Amino acid sequence: MKFSRMTAAVTLASALVLTACSGDDETDDASTPASGATSEGAATGGPGDDGSATSAADGDSATATAATDDAAATSEAMTTDEGQAAMSVEDAEAVAATVMEARHESFQGDGDEVTDAQRSAFMGSARTAVEAADQLEEVFGEPAETEADAAPEPNVLAISREDGDLPEFLLVQTVPADEVPVLHLLESRTGEDKDFRIIWEARMLPGTEVPTFDRRSVGTPVLREGQGTLLANPRDTLKELGAYISWPQPEDIPDYRTHGYSPAVRKAAEEQAAAVADQASLREKNWLVSDDTKTLMFEDGSAFVIGTLLRDTTFTVNANSVLTAPESFVALAGDDEITDEAVLRTMVFVGMRVPAEGVDFKPEMIAAREQLVEAWGE
């Protein structure tokens, strides 16, 4: 019996379709259901040094704004001290434009030019993901970015504050042709403008918003270790999310809002497990890539926690049974029949808002993206 595209290969768009069709979500999300995978939002950069920058992921319900001078006066204690951004707004916008152009070129054509563009645009887990997507084009087709005539205009939402430490960060938002806003985290490990690369990117989930950061000229504080005044350690938060979206789901689960993402992932795993029940058992477990965890502070003292999970979807074949591998498995592992065990590994890029002392809300997912990157078995 064949097992088709597995949970590990489910794209974010698929998860959103499941949510939109079923209406399933966490009980606590019932008052703000996910409203669809497309948007009517746009990204616009304002005039001057710190003009407001606004985006919408779901009409008027989601916005991302660079703080104005007046808004900055209301900052919580963690961000009230005047600081200075690691780079000027003009330089940040120029860097973002250069990297986004390289990103656009990485989806055009083939061969060495694309490889060079990938290296100019991405590094770390983000590059692993884009290289895997390129390898799987024969299975899933070309990405939507291939059809774009030009790179989407970047909107710099946050510039890391000068604190004497490296790396430096830029948080950039774009709105591609399908109008679902995408968030991109750019990092320079040396502090040099030429070394900025995308290390993480994900689409905003329906019904979410990016709260206000400090003014871009003042810069956004980076929480480089520990948990500061946050109510939970950023890495622990992502680990708990990983458990939350595993299958079967553990008994102890965090009280998070995922805007339909977690129920959709679990539902896809449950359906896949049922489809192969006569031949194999299925389990999914998520692992945190600790070095990928980055934390940028919002103006109110809460945080944008950005990270990567590795999801292993494992099929254990029953005795005297054989599974015919899907095309994605064959493309990555080279085997077309599985008699013992098959594992598909997916990178899950997530962005969450985590509360701080005095900021009362549930941790919630803001953005997510999945990419199948590896497969093995026998």
pLDDT score, position 82: 73
pLDDT score, position 81: 57
* Under-50 pLDDT residues of the chain: 1-49, 51-56, 58-63, 65-80
Residue with tokens 């329906």: 206
Residue-level length of the chain: 378
Strand duo 210-213 + 64-66: pairing: parallel
DSSP labels, 232-258? S-HHHHHHHHHHHTSBSPPSS----B-
pLDDT score, position 147: 78
pLDDT score, position 182: 97
Q: Report d(CA 227, CA 139) in Å as an integer.
A: 42
Q: Per-residue pLDDT tens for 260-312?
A: 999 999 999 999 999 989 999 999 999 999 999 999 999 999 999 999 999 99
Q: Per-residue pLDDT tens for 223-258?
A: 999 999 999 999 999 999 999 999 998 888 889 999
Q: Per-residue pLDDT tens for 287-301?
A: 999 999 999 999 999
Distance in angstroms between the alpha carbons of the first and the last residue of the chain: 16
Q: What is the pTM of this model?
A: 0.82
